[in-house]
Amino acid sequence: MRYYTVTSATLNSTPEPRAGMILPADYPQAFLPPLITELHQSFAAWGRASYAPGPLHPLRVWFNPQGELAFARESDPQPATSSGIAQALAAWLTLLDGWMETFVVIARARAVWSVAELAGALSFTTPAYLPRAVMEQSPESWLRVAQALATAVADGPLQGEAQNRHWQEQA
């Protein structure tokens, strides 16, 4: 098993997760909206580098508090398919829905991906295209995500910048 990250549009591989990376199940209370945004940014870096992380599995996603992602895989990730990262994005959004409320997952996704990219993911947000492990984590997540994505796509582009003022830690 190797751990893959994308940094500065470069695919990196290590024999163990980077220091400070944990599994979501080890620290579910870390999933606050600002972290969701950072995780979306890290996931989007895979698409910008033209890679897809492969079938997602809740026990093979590692993260740190800064939002860096690593995916544990037995083989090298493949280049993104002709549909880009749309299928992987659908699985990603559905996976995150198991750890955070749907409206936060999608609202924060709108700040990272275009309406067209979210519409592309909507096409793959069905049990037929989602990895079994993602479906088993939360069987109804796909439906919540599909409905929220449809609403987000219909609403059009996000207006303004996301702000985390109410999530800042108090000194």
> pLDDT digit string (tens) for 22-61?
999 888 888 899 999 999 999 999 999 999 898 899 999 9
What is the pLDDT, as a whole number, of residue 165?
53
Q: How far apart are CA 52 and CA 56, in angstroms?
A: 10
β-strand partners of 12:
5
Q: How far apart are CA 153 and CA 156, in angstroms?
A: 5
Which of the four pLDDT bands, split at 50, 70 and 90, describes residue 7? very high
> pLDDT digit string (tens) for 105-121?
999 999 999 999 999 99
pLDDT at 17 over 70: yes
What is the pLDDT, as a whole number, of residue 79?
85
What residue type is assigned to position 169 of the chain?
A: E
What is the pLDDT, as a whole number, of residue 171?
46
What is the pLDDT, as a whole number, of residue 162?
56
pLDDT at 84 over 90: no
Indicate the SS3 state at residue 124. Answer: coil
Which of the four pLDDT bands, split at 50, 70 and 90, describes residue 139? confident
